Amino acid sequence: MTEPAKRDELDVERLRRQVADIGEARTASAEPAPELNAFARQIAEHYRDSSYSPALLIGQFRLLEFVLCFTLGLLVNWVAGVLAAHVIYATLAIAIGSALTIISLQVADAYQIPSLRAAARSSRSVLTAWSFGFAAMIFQLVLVQPHLGLWASLGWYLFGGGMLLLVRQFIAFGIRNWARDGTMERRAVIVGGGAPAKELVRALEGQSDNDIRICGIFDDRGSARSPDVVAGYPKLGTFAELVEFARLARIDMLIIALPASAEQRILQLLKKLWVLPVDIRLAAHSTRLRFRPRAYSHVGAVPMLDIFDKPIRDWDSVAKRIFDIVFSVLALAVFWPVMIAAAIAVKATSKGPVLFVQKRHGFNNEIINVLKFRSMYTEQSDPTAKKAVTKNDPRVTPVGRFLRKSSLDELPQLFNVLKGDLSLVGPRPHAVHAQTGERKYVDVVESYFARHRVKPGVTGWAQINGLRGELDSDEKIRKRTAYDLDYIENWSLLLDLKILFLTPIRLLNTENAY
């Protein structure tokens, strides 16, 4: 490797180490976000609707093909009498054969977008995989039913192979249409303009299996160094405006079109951009750069250096949503008598509505309406939460004081979870105007908005570690943010389950709840 190449690689390794330190909460003086220009806002509104993740589509298609193979096998063996005589053994054999078919298709790359888009070209791989899975099923079944029948077996094989080929024709038609109308794509913004951005655009557009939709370019430099239009794509604004644009639009990826040697400039960018729930990649298509193979991800043949990944993505997000729905329904089934009693107590002891609705920051910094049982006198309630509730606060009703200490006032948030605004477990959502002293939380902690890369939760990692109640000091908001970021980086369903089951135990400590 040449000396310049070695220097580039060392720069990248050092960059990744420095990037890992960005998550440490630091005191900062936050600058107000600039107003997004009208043209960029118009483009962002065009991308407000969510796109469909290719990873989710492929996963669902795998499941569909498994179900089809399995169902056909059960049907044939039921007609042939094998299933009635040996139900457990036959069902297991058919499941194994169907699974082997899917595994074979995966090994043959038949679940890649190019293969799915051009079904005719992958037909040989499909038939080979089906033949392998079918042979495994027949081999197991003839052990218990030697007289399955030649015609039944041949019909099963031909019908199964034809079914898989036909389904893939429909999927190919769907993918081509979804790609054209923007339903299935990864939306990307290029960060940095000029010649590097132009080279990157041309490289991406040259990929036959490219699912990237370039939504625009952002650059701080003027028109002399960074043209207003690069390879047909407009420059929409500055780096400072990019954060607001990415939040308004449903952006999936930010691609930095700067050389890795521009380390300080990249770090300054990442300090602004890492709070967004998107993938952040450093384009590595230039032949002047040399990286270790394990550092790469690819869009077609275009290499990207992974810097940040969107947390809780694709099938993880599906699993977390199922977790939320199941446990929320169970909680409502258990606590509905308590909720009715709390509602009656609130209504009977003070004037005003039973529920209190407060605007808080949700996923991607969006504003959501969070429900609680009202715990203050209506005329003294503070929807903005600029003045935090303190010990023996006269604004809190006697019933409200009990509800707040026991956290029963939070139970209506289970309906927020079912609606999809909240998760059961996640960083606690704070009121939009909440502050400590005279400063908003983002003025105290530079990385505060990085908490919003995932849905906020009814309970969280910070809360079960004792960080509950009033945030009346800089140190408390720093610690809570640090726990929230640790949760995001180390998320798993097991961690969610642990937090969920520890929450009732931790609620017994009411020292900071008032």
Range of the domain at 39: 3-51+185-310
Q: How many domains does the chain have?
A: 3
Residues 153 and 220 in one domain: no
The reported pLDDT for the residue numbered 472 is 62
Residues 197 and 154 in one domain: no
Three-state SS for 490?
coil
Residues 495 and 354 in one domain: yes
Helices (H) and strands (E) in the chain, counts: 18, 14
Structure-token match 């989710």, residue found: 56
Three-state SS for 283?
strand
The two tokens of residue 308 are 């940040």
501 in a domain, yes or no? yes
Question: What's the chain's Rg over C-alpha atoms?
Answer: 28
Residues 216 and 176 in one domain: no
The reported pLDDT for the residue numbered 337 is 94
Of 118, 152, 181, which one is at a domain's C-terminal end? 181
Per the CB < 8 A criterion, the answer to whether 366 and 454 are in contact is: no
**Which value, to the nearest 10 degrees, does the dihedral of the CA atoms of residues 220, 225, 229, 230 take?**
-100
Residues 463 and 491 in one domain: yes
The reported pLDDT for the residue numbered 5 is 43
Q: Kindly report the CATH number assigned to the domain that includes residue 231.
A: 3.40.50.20
476 in a domain, yes or no? yes
Query: CA 458 → CA 109, 372, 426, 455, 510, distances in Å?
Result: 41, 11, 7, 10, 17
286 in a domain, yes or no? yes
512 in a domain, yes or no? no
Nearest to 251 by CA among 55, 450, 33, 44: 44
Nearest to 506 by CA among 498, 514, 454, 493: 498
Per the CB < 8 A criterion, the answer to whether 52 and 184 are in contact is: yes
Residues 33 and 72 in one domain: no
Residues 167 and 121 in one domain: yes
374 in a domain, yes or no? yes
> What type of residue sits at position 235?
K
Residues 287 and 387 in one domain: no
513 in a domain, yes or no? no
Structure-token match 């606690």, residue found: 428
With residue 229 as reference, give the H or E element that holds it.
strand 229-230
User: Would you list the DSSP string of 77-105?
Assistant: HHHHTHHHHSHHHHHHHHHHHHHHHHHHH
Nearest to 211 by CA among 288, 279, 270: 279
What is the model's pTM?
0.77
Q: In what order do the strands lie in the sheet with 186-191?
A: 229-230, 233-237, 212-218, 186-191, 253-256, 279-283, 302-308, 296-299
Question: Terminal CA-to-CA distance of the chain, rounded, Å?
Answer: 64
Question: Cα(308)–Cα(254) distance, rounded to whole angstroms?
Answer: 10
Q: Is the dihedral of CA 128, 129, 131, 135 positive or negative?
A: positive
137 in a domain, yes or no? yes
Of 252, 285, 310, which one is at a domain's C-terminal end? 310
Residues 47 and 63 in one domain: no
As beta bridge partners, residue 367 has 361
129 in a domain, yes or no? yes
Per the CB < 8 A criterion, the answer to whether 8 and 205 are in contact is: no
Question: Cα(83)–Cα(374) distance, rounded to whole angstroms?
Answer: 59
Residues 334 and 389 in one domain: yes
Spatial neighbors of 168 by CB under 8 A, at least 6 apart, are 116, 119, 122, 123, 126
Of 140, 158, 181, which one is at a domain's C-terminal end? 181
Residues 358 and 471 in one domain: yes
The reported pLDDT for the residue numbered 69 is 92
pLDDT in tens, the chain (514 residues): 444 444 444 345 555 555 555 545 444 444 555 677 888 888 888 777 766 777 778 888 899 999 999 999 888 888 877 777 778 888 888 899 899 999 998 888 888 777 787 788 888 889 999 999 888 888 887 776 666 667 778 888 899 999 999 999 998 888 877 766 666 778 889 988 777 888 888 888 877 666 788 888 898 877 767 778 888 888 888 888 888 888 888 888 899 887 766 777 888 888 788 888 888 888 876 545 454 544 567 676 777 777 888 888 888 888 999 999 999 999 999 999 999 999 999 999 888 899 989 889 889 888 899 999 998 888 877 766 666 676 777 888 888 888 888 889 899 999 999 999 999 999 998 887 777 666 777 777 777 888 889 999 999 998 888 877 666 677 778 888 889 989 998 999 999 999 999 998 887 665 655 4
Per the CB < 8 A criterion, the answer to whether 231 and 25 are in contact is: no
Residues 281 and 323 in one domain: no
